[in-house]
Structures are given as C-alpha cells and as structure tokens.
Amino acid sequence: MPIITLFSGTFCKEEPVLETLISETKYKLISDDDLTVKAVELSGMAAKKIQRAFSSKTSAFNKFTHEKERATSYLKLAAAQELGQDNLIFAGFSSHLIPASINHVLRVCLIADMEFRISEAKKNEGISSKEAKKLIYRQDEDKAVWANQLHGIKDPWDSSLYDIIIPMDKTAVDEAVSLIKENLGKDILQTTAASQKAVEDFLLAVRVEVELAKEGHYVNVDAKDGLVTITINKHVLALERLKQELKSIAVKVKGVRDVKTKVGKDFYQADIYRKYDFELPSRVLLVDDEREFVTTLSERLLMRDVGSVVAYDGQSALDLIESDEPDVIILDLRMPGIDGIEVLRRVKKSNPSVEVIILTGHGSEEDRKTCMELGAFAYLQKPVDIDLLSETLKKANDKVRTGKNKI
C-alpha cells in the first residue's frame, strides 16, 4: 500500500483525521517525535537541538555550527530508514522529508481559512481571538521556513507540494478520511520497482549527506544508481580543494560508485561557505558594553575560525543564554545595569556547564577572587594578548566538549 504524508495547518482537525485514518487503515504513524527520538540515537545530538530544526527561529550560533542543517540531515536519515516498510503515515513536519522522486506516496495537506482556525483555537485552547491569531501566525511561520528550507518554496500550502489539499472548514473528518482512502487505491500510487529504487537512492544520498555533516560540511546531495551529485550553494575561495575533500568523504560510503560535484544557483551570492570545525569554539558569547572593542574582538576571533555572538549588556546576555545556550562566555565586569559578577553568578547557577572567561580592564584582586570562587574558568585583564585569549578560549571549549562527551 502507498505511504501517506499528512501536513496540516494548526487547528485544521489534524488529530481526529489521523486517529480515524489510522483506525480504518491500520497504518503505522511516524510522528515528528518518533523521528526526533531516532535522530537523537543516530546523531548523539541533544533532543532540543534536533527539535529546533522544526522552528523558524535559528540559533544565533548556527552560521558557525550548522546545527539546524545537521539536525535536518539526521531527521532525513531517520525518515529514509523507515521507508523500507509499507503502510506508514508520516505526519507533521516529517511529512516534508520524503522527496518527490518517491512515487508511492500520497501527499495530503489539511488547511482551512483563518476564521475557522481562529474559532477552533479559541474553542480548543480557551484563548482570545487576538491570541489565537498570533499563535497561528507563529506556527505558520515555522512551517513556511521548513518548506522553504526543504523545497525552496515559501508557501507551505503550495499545491505543487501535495496530491490532495483538503479544506477542513468545508469538509467533515469522515469525508476527509474517505477521500484519502479513495486515493490510496489509485494505480499511480502503487509501489513499483522504480519507486522502491527511488527509496534506495534517497537513503544513499542521505547517508552521504550525514557523513559530510560529520566532517563539518553542509551541501545538497542527490543519488541515482550509485552516482552521487554534490551541489555547493555557497561561495568558497578554494573551490577545487573543497570539491576534492567532499569527494574523498562521499566515495567511502557503501553503495557509492562515483561522485560528481557542481556549484548551485546560490554559489555566486555574497555568503561564504564555512566548514564547521568541531575542535574549534563556535558557540562563544562576548559580553561587553564597549561596542567598538567587542566588535573588533569578534572579528579577530573569526579570523581564527572562532564563531561568536555579541551582547552589549548583562540583561541581553542573560536573555540570549536562556534561549540559546553558548558553550563559552567572555564577560566584562563593569557594565551598566546587571554587572559581570551578577551575570557570572546567574550563569553558573542556571547553566553550570557553560564556561566563563572574565575579561576586564577595571577589576581588582578582590574581584578576581570573587569570580574564581563563583566558578569562572579564567580571569584576564585588558588589554589582552589575542593569542593568550585564544588559547584560554580553546581550553575552556575543550573542557565543555569533554563534559558533554561524558553525558
């Protein structure tokens, strides 16, 4: 029987449709949570980092770490490994992971007009119209970013992405289920040798993509009959060297006969390709109210392939730490509002695994003693030698990585 993918707008009766469909077809549900669990097992990444792939909000550090892209690669691998079975329903964001090249898939979208969705939200969540509209827009934004990331299409309800689009403001649950079941029987959706081969090609492409991600690369990968095509979509100065590196990784994957590389349509844009080096610090938060100093410091660290994000006051730093935990913080002491010692105290209480390097031009011996007692990794004075700071930063980052590997 064909596989079903079901993507739905929020408050479009997805749950009752799924429940009825599963009851009547005996299909197995593959949810976003199911694939997240499997992706965590495959990658060793934290569940919250895998789940963040479904959010429109990207980590402030993502341009250095490519964590969202790596999470997506592992979600693809988890989905591809499930495709060896029949009678599956992929629901939610996961439904978009199945490529269009696999023909024995019935792609279904449930949607409704905004008035209906707001009414459903008010009834189900007990919220006002204004709150309902805000919630729906926020969740639609997540879905739009997801569709654009995977398909290059900004409208998640675009008809080219689906075989059936069902307006749930005009369709009862039983009617929607009957329509889906009716289409399951169409000859064009039945499993064939060609569609099974497309599943094998997808699995090979994703396995190559994951092996490249393990080495810090994020590129587009396609496969057909053992021929792998790697597309580089960001500008790189040493293009031929990168091509050789990518080929040398891909050709080692079992099932790969040959590897071809090419540049994509976005290659000549201003963005620069940056390989993620797992050994170097890439989740560094710089906190200092001296804007010119901290901006220059960030640039100097980037020249050493160290990725950093800047906050200009203590409250901004604490907000960023809460939403997007860094590995290492380089922290000034004297700042307006919440000072560095208070930031250090709160960070070590709420996020003890984060290492904090104090970098100050106005500290005293008493300040140094207080900071070290609170758990600072190091206490440095301005002006600081950039090599000393880089070495201290690397040692702090190594300590964080060692601690995470023990978990």
Q: Report how far residue 131's alpha carbon sits from residue 110's, in angstroms, rounded to the nearest whole number.
A: 22
- Domains of the chain with bracketed CATH: 3-189 (3.40.50.300), 193-263 (3.30.1340), 284-406 (3.40.50.2300)
CB 163 within 8 A of CB 153: no
pTM score, two decimals?
0.85
Q: 138-152, 157-171, 290-304, 393-407: which has the minimum mean pLDDT? A: 393-407
pLDDT of residue 407: 44
CA angle 64, 31, 219 (to 5 degrees): 30
Helix (H, G, I), strand (E, B) or coil at 381: strand
Whether the pLDDT of residue 84 is over 90: the answer is: no
First to last CA, the chain: 42
Mean pLDDT over 299-306 rounds to 89
pLDDT at 108 over 80: yes
The band of 303, judged by pLDDT with boundaries at 50, 70 and 90, is confident
Across 147-156, 268-277, 372-381, 389-398, least confident range: 268-277
Confidence of residue 272 (pLDDT cuts 50, 70, 90): low
Angle between helices 193-214 and 239-250 (to 10 degrees): 120
pLDDT (average), residues 18-45? 97
Span 183-242, pLDDT tens digits: 998 988 988 999 999 999 999 999 999 999 999 898 999 999 999 999 998 777 788 999
Chain-wide mean pLDDT for the chain?
Answer: 93
Please, which pLDDT band fits residue 274 given cuts at 50, 70 and 90?
A: low
User: Is 90 exceeded by the pLDDT of residue 1?
Assistant: no
Per-position DSSP letters for 80-114, written without gaps between them: HHHTTSSSEEEEGGGGGGS-TT--SEEEEEEE--H
Summarised one tens digit per residue, pLDDT across range 201-213 is 999 999 999 999 9
Please, which pLDDT band fits residue 13 given cuts at 50, 70 and 90? very high
Classify residue 90 by burial, with Cβ atoms within 10 Å: 0-12, 13-18, 19+.
Answer: buried
Say which residue, 276 or 389, is predicted with more confidence: 389
Residue 112 has pLDDT above 90, yes or no: yes
- Any alpha helices (H) in 152-284, and if so which ranges? 173-184, 193-214, 239-250
CA dihedral 63, 323, 78, 9 (to 10 degrees): -100
Mean pLDDT of 8-17: 97
Please state the rounded mean pLDDT for residues 94-107: 96
| pLDDT exceeds 60 at position 143 | yes
Residue 405 pLDDT greater than 60, yes or no: no
CA 390 to chain centre: 28
Distance, CA of 70 to CA of 73 (rounded, Å): 5
